[in-house]
A = this chain, B = another copy of it.
């Protein structure tokens, strides 16, 4: 049932003219992706990658976005080089919202919190940046949360008032903070695991997104469900998932580095792929949306051919 649509390459019959006008791309998404040429892909340099290794040989890889949050990225890379997270934990998983990792004590028992490395500089709040100087591929579709949305080097972004910012789409990586906007020190990180909480946009610093291993986070048991539990925090330290290490890609042994390529979001093939998301075809769909939400578009990532 249901799933066959995704596989079926049935004929498009009885296309009405109004429909045909809207649909600019009738190939299925996977065919469009398969048509991308070598130059439509960007190899992510290891220095932009952050490897999170969880207990049980589970690896999650993030691409960092220093273009949007340079000081926060620097702070995170510095913490990783100081092995700050090694031995800490995933201490929160709130269903349909976020998973969070770092030092549970920093949240529950600040007096017992792990000391930040000497000389650690708290980054400023980096909620947005000027629009100038960025090569953004803007979508044609409106977005009620902002003045426009698009993609910059694979990152979903929004704009308004001459500024541009990373959006809280599924898989976005951010820096936890306290009440003061600049109170995030970079050590408590969260990842969006539910329906996009776009109301967080411009309220907290996003620093990157998951490019590999998302399901190691999204399928974790939910916390805080017990009576008195709150906001996804695990009630018992036994529920924590142990963080073995967090490393900058260049510090990962060569044989463990992943060569990941992201589809260039300023390419024609990516535009064509977006069209397949705006109007889904292939026989199963009886009605086309002629619209897409920026968070409904998964930017293709693949392992480079070796």
Which chain A residues have a beta carbon within 8 Å of chain B's beta carbons?
1-8, 10, 92, 95-96, 98, 100, 106-107, 127, 141-145, 169-170, 176-179, 181, 183-184, 188, 190, 194-199, 201-204, 214-215, 218-222, 225, 230-231, 233, 277, 280, 283-287, 289, 291-293, 295-296, 298
Contact = CB atoms under 8 A, between A and B. Distances in A.
A225 to B, nearest CB: 6
A195 B169 contact: yes
Given A3-B107, A195-B169, A204-B2, A219 B95 contact: yes
Contacts of A92: 3
Contact of A177 (B1, B196, B222): B1
Contact of A219 (B170, B219, B292): B219
Given A141-B144, A179-B5, A230-B7, A194 B170 contact: yes
Q: Give the 9 A-B residue pairs with the shortest CB-CB distance, closest first.
A: A1-B176, A2-B176, A215-B222, A1-B188, A199-B289, A202-B287, A170-B195, A95-B215, A195-B195
A107 B231 contact: no
Given A127-B287, A195-B293, 11 more contacts: A1-B176, A2-B98, A2-B188, A6-B230, A8-B179, A95-B214, A96-B218, A145-B293, A195-B195, A199-B296, A218-B222
Contacts of A286: 127, 181, 202-203
18 contacts: A1-B107, A1-B178, A2-B177, A3-B107, A3-B176, A4-B179, A7-B230, A8-B179, A96-B218, A142-B144, A169-B195, A170-B195, A194-B194, A197-B296, A198-B293, A199-B280, A215-B222, A219-B222
A218 to B, nearest CB: 6
A181 B284 CA distance: 8
A168 to B, nearest CB: 10
